[in-house]
Amino acid sequence: MPSMENEGSDVSRAEEIKNQANEAFKAHRYGQAIDLYTQAIELNSQNAVYWANRSLAHTKLEEYGSAIQDATKAIEVDPKYSKGYYRRGAAYLAMGKFKEALKDFQQVKRICPNDPDATKKLKECEKAVMKLKFEEAISVPESERRSVADSIDYRTIKVEPQYLGSKIEGDVVTLDFVKKMMDDFKNQKCLHKRYAFQIVLQMREMLQALPSLVDINVPDGSLLTVCGDVHGQFYDLINIFELNGLPSEENPYLFNGDFVDRGSFSVEVILTLFAFKCMCPSAIYLARGNHESKSMNKIYGFEGEVRSKLSETFVELFAEVFCYLPLAHVINQKVFVVHGGLFSVDGVKLSDIRAIDRFCEPPEEGLMCELLWSDPQPYPGRGPSKRGVGLSFGADVTRRFLQDNNLDLVVRSHEVKDEGYEIEHDGKLITVFSAPNYCDQMGNKGAFIRFEAPDLKPNIVTFSAVPHPDVKPMAYANNFLRMFQ
């Protein structure tokens, strides 16, 4: 039996470590904070505060599955600890699970009936659930749904004489147009709806014709640049083009999903990427990320931003076009590029990915879900996802997938990294993330990878964030979520 003295010293040591963890948290070093809270928990697992604090740090890293587990543990340790319910409610909310969040906020209100903050959050959550129920009630079944594109004829939209922004002459998107549009965006000017419709509708047709897995051929001596998440950080996207050249047939890019949400210049990012694709289809390849989906866009700002800068019709149109984005790419039959990661079963072949019917919102399980949501883990085998969707997979899973498909390397995105990238799984897996100082607070670098054929050795370039106009990340996000920022 441990002596009383030992127990006492463990408790006070745990408290010291918790204070260090709190300092790391305040400095936005969330990974370090999690490690320290873990040490505190190992010394004293009966303190609900440690679990709730670690839950919040997981939330900051978008590890909502782990956040929910820790908050649940805090509640088990102390069923009257309101912050346990509060943290769990916030994590459910971030996953779009409004009904589960509502139950937790009702519990917070029961424990703290006079807390004005709890009252306000509960009201907002009730509104969100009511809205959801209403939308479910009026929604048209998938089988009866008509494409919103059928109701749009952009040619009939008049361009007012006072509009001085960029214009598409006729049907062809030119480099001059794209450059002028990007300049206008830099100066926070909008693109006329007529031309925005023209670009997105042209994009829809182009993407619809592509397979779910796209093969990219890079000729010997030529380059392909792979970028990770951009997340609405338009000014950092412009910086990538300044560092590495504009997309063209000779300088092609692959953007690996999560173009939108969180950053408040998502409309500018998506129209720029789409316009380059319209200008020259082989200049830019685009993959779907987990944020190219209705449920994420509703919460993390893209839907609100589109409403504000364009119109309600565009909300529907983008949702539809996002369903047409390919799910993965293979470069020269050697490098597999996907937004999230690998699978819950062995033996998945490239032909299985090609065969996925991707024209839908991402399901909550199966190959498509795992491609968009999974993450690597440092130990072998498979584990539950820290996000609560998809799974974690080890180096052995990566190795088998590469062997089964005669590939050399997996490149994925989906996770913020301090240096903008991370090489894992014995050098067989690289994460690349291209949104520096993510959400204006993570302090990370961004990165992109240049692959030159024939050897396709990854040449990683890192870069820092550049200034942007004073519009905060999540400025257009769901009201309710903004309360937790």
Query: Between these two residues, 135 and 454, which has the higher pLDDT value?
Result: 454
Q: 425-468, pLDDT tens digit by residue?
A: 999 999 999 999 999 999 999 999 999 999 999 999 999 999 99
Q: Give the pLDDT of residue 141.
A: 74
Would you say domain 149-482 falls under CATH 3.60.21.10?
yes
Q: Which two tokens stand for residue 303?
A: 């839907």
Q: Give the pLDDT of residue 132.
A: 76
Distance from C-alpha of 300 to C-alpha of 262, rounded to nearest angstrom: 5
Taking the CA atoms of residue 105, residue 110, residue 115 and residue 119 in that order, the dihedral angle to the nearest 10 degrees is 50
Q: Give the pLDDT of residue 333.
A: 98
Check: CB of residue 258 under 8 Å from CB of residue 209. no
Q: Give the pLDDT of residue 55.
A: 97
Placement of tokens 């640049």 in the chain:
225
Where residue 485 falls among pLDDT bands split at 50, 70, 90?
A: low
- Average pLDDT in the 294-312 region? 95
Taking the CA atoms of residue 86, residue 91, residue 93 and residue 99 in that order, the dihedral angle to the nearest 10 degrees is -70
Residue 2 has pLDDT above 70, yes or no: no
Q: 379-435, pLDDT tens digit by residue?
A: 999 999 999 999 999 999 999 999 999 999 999 999 999 999 999 999 999 999 999
Where residue 483 falls among pLDDT bands split at 50, 70, 90?
A: low
Q: 48-99, pLDDT tens digit by residue?
A: 999 999 999 999 999 999 999 999 999 999 999 999 999 999 899 888 888 8
Check: CB of residue 278 under 8 Å from CB of residue 204. no
Listed by start position, the domains of the chain span 4-138, 149-482
User: For the whole prediction, is pTM greater than 0.85?
Assistant: yes
3-state percent breakdown (helix, strand, coil) of the chain, nearest 5: 50, 10, 40
- Average pLDDT in the 1-13 region? 73
Lowest-pLDDT range, 7-21, 257-271, 358-372, 407-421? 7-21
Where residue 240 falls among pLDDT bands split at 50, 70, 90?
A: very high
Q: Give the pLDDT of residue 115.
A: 85
- Residues assigned a catalytic role: 291
Q: 267-299, pLDDT tens digit by residue?
A: 999 999 999 999 999 999 999 999 999 999 999
Lowest-pLDDT range, 105-109, 175-179, 335-339? 105-109
Q: Which two tokens stand for residue 258?
A: 């999560």
Where residue 481 falls among pLDDT bands split at 50, 70, 90?
A: low
Q: Which two tokens stand for residue 407?
A: 């590939």
4-138: CATH topology: 1.25.40
